[in-house]
Chains A and B, each alone.
Chain A
Amino acid sequence: MAEALVKHAFTGAGHPPAKATFDLMARPTAKTGLLSWLTTVDHKKIGMLYGGFAILFFLIGGLEALMIRTQLMVPNNRFISAQLYNELFTMHGTTMIFLAVMPLNAAFFNLLIPLQIGARDVAFPRLNAFSLWTWVVGAILLNVGWLSHFFPSWNFGGAPDIGWFGYAPLTSKAFSPDISTDLWVLGLQVLGLSSIVASLNFIVTIINLRAPGLTMMRLPVFTWMALVTSFLLILALPAIAIALVEVMMDRNFGTNFFEVSGGGQPILWQHLFWVFGHPEVYILILPPMGYVSEILPTFARKPLFGYPIVVFSGVAIGFIGFGVWSHHMFTTGMGTVATAAFSIATMAIAVPTGVKIFNWIGTLWGGQITTRVPMMFALGFIWMFMLGGFSGVMHAAAPADAQQQDSYFVIAHFHYVLIGGATFALLAAIHFWFPKFFGRMVPEVWGKVSFWLIFVGFNCTFFPMHFLGLNGMPRRTWTYDSNMGWNEGNMFATWGAYLLGVGIFTYFAVLVWSLFKGKVCGNDPWDARTLEWSIPSPPPEHNFAAIPTVHARDAWWYEKTHKDEIAAEKAEHIKAEEAHGGIHMPDQSWYPLFSAFGLLVGAYNFAQLHHPVVMFGNQVLASHLPLAITGGVIMASALYLWALEGPAGYHLHIAADGKVTESRGGH
């Protein structure tokens, strides 16, 4: 019996065909409609959901930024209150990092990794869905506090207002009594869970599911950067997970990790936070370096210059990235030796970063550069990222940093890295791969208009901030006085921000238009170089009719010049796969969604733990504990049923004329 169950669970053998009647174990099969999205295990659908949610939060974070800039437009402004301002800058940072750039990168990991390595999906498709839905839960927990501004009786105390960095002891019960901080702690914790699960999945996928012949040193650079990023995530996230647990225990169970009166050390939080927080910077920027390393060769029509050095410098950045965290803490009184060590290490990390820029320029050298929209964003990335890198080197000089730390100079620096860098590269990537996943082109003219609006708006917003910072304007300030010499810079930056907002709006409005009206395109509209361009746009659910054999870097470029050789290999692969029963595809599942839902119920009610449950004005329960436990039970049950439902799945058969048929049952 037990053996049969194990066999059933791990190999799918003996699994009964899907029944028409309701069955807890039956796996949903809908291919279209809401159900297909909620239960999907297809990496492309999951990628699009990540992308769609991320863009939504990117726009929300942008609106928060515009409210911040409006408040700072003139001195002593009263457009919004100090409290709301603090919530806005906290959530702007939290949203842009965890709910916009990271999930946009996750979207591309999902969309591209299997296609670039010639795989049919990620290694663990249901786990992939679990990562997605867990991420959604984290996003809800972080943002649910906004509702209390619209429904004052909902007792959240507003959105989190402790800064995205949540420095103790401001996060302690004494200074942040309401539950917005508890929701922030749990939200980040849940997002961390999502990222760790996803990273393990991608690492296994990249290591194990590469097509024959695709050695590590033939891997597309984007996939390489995704691999490095995934390792950074699983190594960095435990640090903040521990720190968050400690804050949670301090707030709920009377421990003294950071409680000053109990002998706690607030500096401990900063070390734990930045041991995560600095690798996080590279988690945000390495995938964009990957996009750019794919886009530049395509539009220069020659391979990436110095591929091994680009890869190794990416890995080197990943390593050194764990040894520079205290440069965020130069003003905390670390003493001379520690400050000097972190100062030098920070300068050292500029070298592999600079190497990448040299290699991108080397890629352009001697090429045939066509400046399509993705290329414009990619070139914009190099210029802007270079400027952000320079102000980064300035921060590495610790005594100079004592003046710049927590001033607008820092804001200028990291927005050059995260908008001029990461966001420009993401906008390039969205434009570049849009035709692949939607089968339609984005119009060039409107793409260029949005590029210039964004480019000019971005520089008008953030370039003056260098000067505001050097002129002594501290960050995270709700207002400023009119005699400080900051009036013009702030006015200019706010107009720039509006322009940037118009540019971003144009960019996405054009994308939406293109979804429906864009010119239909073929496999390979850009004359690109990697495997995802060898298959139809949009890709079929099984990705590759035949898994290709890879003979060189830039496998698709090689295929274009060795058509007969590859076609013969592919025909053989199809035959071999058919002999094994065809292309095995996984079935969909409810349980990733259900288990994430249990997590939502549990985490939300745990944040509310010490408050009574009130419904329609009546107290129903004295505490949220029973509801929190209920959430845990839902999650545990869903995970248990997940384990039992078995892999099931079905087979696809490719006929000689390319027609796809489906068969179920047997194995």
Chain B
Amino acid sequence: MTSPRSAPRTFSRLTTALFAGLSLIFLSGCKLTEIFNLSGPQSTMVSAGPVAKAQWDLFMVTVWVTTFIFIVVGAVLAYAQFKFRAKTEADEHATPPPQGHGNPFVEIGLIAGSVLLLVIIAIPTLRGIWYTHDVPEDEKANAMEVTATGYQWWFKFEYPSEMVPLPTGGEAPLVTGNELVVPAGVPVRVQLRTVDVIHSFWIPKLAGKVDMMPNRGNFLWFKADKPGYFYGQCAEYCGESHAIMRFRVIALSAPEYARWLENQKQAARTVTAESLAAAAATPTAKFASLKFEAGSALAASPGFDANPLAAWQDMQKPEPGENAQLIATGRKLFADKTCISCHAVRGHEGIGITGPDLTRVGARTTIAAGVLENTPERMHAWIKDPNHYKPGNKMFNGGYVDVDTGTAKFQLTDPEIDALVAYLHSLK
């Protein structure tokens, strides 16, 4: 063994070199302060509703109590480490210190102190459990109800109180996919369901997660204080593409929500040469023309991130340069290539229910469950190779390709995909 005296010296030289090297690596690699960034679109700190706020406030109680304990206990530990270290080699071989076995009064005092500190956390915890569990009694009358259903790997949203007439007669609740639109300032009670495995419904800025459990009627509630655009994500491992099972919540002012609802209840938009001529003067969307960059295939564009709610509002408008003939071709392909057997387009041919409802897919900001920004270029890329963007998805596995034999069920050429995109983007 190296002499105990020379070890620390050699060692201090080594650590100096080590820390110098490390700082270089880290400082050149990234901006250090960004590591402590808590302002992302899924930040639990930047709460935008009372549930998330209650959760963050309770978290801060735990932070203050544990920080207090850390300072006290850490100071004593650091002091003991420093004060009682053997300073010289002679110290190490000196007569051993008194062989004390402990002090019951110190022990009991510390136990009592710990219990007291935990009570400080326990009281707001209990209050929070009851508050975050369900819509408070005095707000129940005002609350609205939606049903969120998890699928591998996307979310379906239903509005049980908003019935829409079906083309075949009768009526059914309004259905959308992956983008939940709610009024701001209204408590929303979300019934959580799943059709396959366990998923978990999480919109960090609005509310902590609750799982979607098979054979269990779970629910959660949230309220958006102001209109806004919120990011959500599945938070329970649910198979191959769990990482890219995302969704959005769009909170609108009361009048805007009413307008949106009114439009949703209509049958799917049908574009003809006459309808285009009649509506020539209406404003058109601008984000749909953003260029698809191959290098950043999945990232949202900066223009989108700057104001996502504005981007969403813009997406509600028809797009520039709509081509009635191309759209009609796309609509026919949508039926011919069997898309209709999984996707519904209410009022058109689509009647399937195993995939997301596409009645207004052109008005959504994202496709593929919050993964790709809904530009024509990205939708083209998605339709061309869905398995690249969402491995294991059922549109490709079972839709495009027979899972048992591995053979393709049909082919799509680029011009055909362009027509499909034109059709889908016309669905506003």
Chain A residues engaging chain B, CB cutoff 8 angstroms? 75-76, 81-83, 85-86, 161, 163, 167, 169-170, 174-175, 260, 263-267, 300-309, 331-333, 335-336, 339-340, 343-344, 347-348, 350-351, 354-355, 357-359, 361-362, 364-372, 379, 382-383, 386-387, 390, 393-394, 396-407, 441, 443-445, 448-449, 452-453, 456, 460, 464, 467, 470-474, 476-489, 491-492, 495, 499, 519, 521, 525
Contacts and interface: CB of A to CB of B under 8 A. Distances in A.
A305 B77 contact: no
Interface string B31-47: 11011111111111100
B405 interface: no
Contacts of A402: 55, 132, 207-210
A444 B59 contact: no
B215 A302 contact: no
Contacts of B55: 399-400, 402-403
B393 to A, nearest CB: 11
A399 B54 contact: yes
A331 B11 contact: no
Contacts of B107: 306, 309, 355, 358-359
23 contacts: A75-B299, A169-B198, A175-B239, A300-B84, A303-B99, A306-B103, A331-B235, A332-B210, A332-B213, A333-B211, A333-B218, A336-B130, A350-B118, A358-B106, A364-B77, A368-B92, A393-B62, A393-B65, A400-B55, A400-B56, A400-B59, A444-B7, A485-B34
B66 interface: yes
Contacts of B25: 495
Interface string B83-122: 0111000011010111111111011001100110010011
Contacts of A382: 77
Contact of A394 (B66, B70, B243, B299): B66
Contacts of B234: 474
B73 A357 contact: yes
B204 interface: yes
A85 B243 CA distance: 10
A344 B218 CA distance: 23
Contacts of A479: 243-244
Contact of A170 (B98, B111, B198): B198
A306 B101 contact: yes
Interface residues of B, number: 122
A406 B86 contact: no
A485 B215 contact: no
B34 to A, nearest CB: 4
A364 B84 contact: yes
Interface string B223-243: 000000001011111111111
A481 B299 contact: yes
Contact of B41 (A371, A476, A484): A484
B29 to A, nearest CB: 6
A495 B98 CA distance: 46
Given A351-B111, A449-B11, A483-B300, A474 B235 contact: yes
Contacts of B305: 483
Contact of A332 (B211, B215, B231, B244): B211
A331 B133 contact: no
Most buried by B among A304, A393, A397, A480: A397
A472 B202 CA distance: 9
Contacts of A486: 40
A369 B299 contact: no
A366 B98 contact: yes
B91 A368 contact: yes
Contacts of A405: 208-209, 235
Given A82-B391, A260-B214, A370 B111 contact: no
B261 interface: no
B213 A267 contact: yes
Given A357-B73, A358-B107, A449-B11, A366 B298 contact: no
A261 to B, nearest CB: 9
Contacts, number: 371
Contact of A464 (B35, B42, B65, B198): B35
B125 A365 contact: no
Interface string B117-137: 010011011101111110000
B84 A367 contact: yes
A336 B35 contact: no
B11 A445 contact: yes
Contact of B128 (A161, A390, A397, A482): A397
A331 B1 contact: no
Given A443-B1, A481-B299, A489 B236 contact: no
Most buried by A among B22, B30, B115, B237: B237
B69 interface: yes
B29 A492 contact: yes
Contact of A449 (B14, B42, B132): B14
A396 B391 contact: no
Contacts of B298: 75-76, 481-482
Contacts of B168: none
B35 A331 contact: no
Nearest to B237: A476
Contacts of A499: 22
Most buried by A among B19, B26, B61: B26
Nearest to B66: A390
A153 to B, nearest CB: 16
B412 interface: no
Given A366-B100, A382-B77, A397 B59 contact: yes
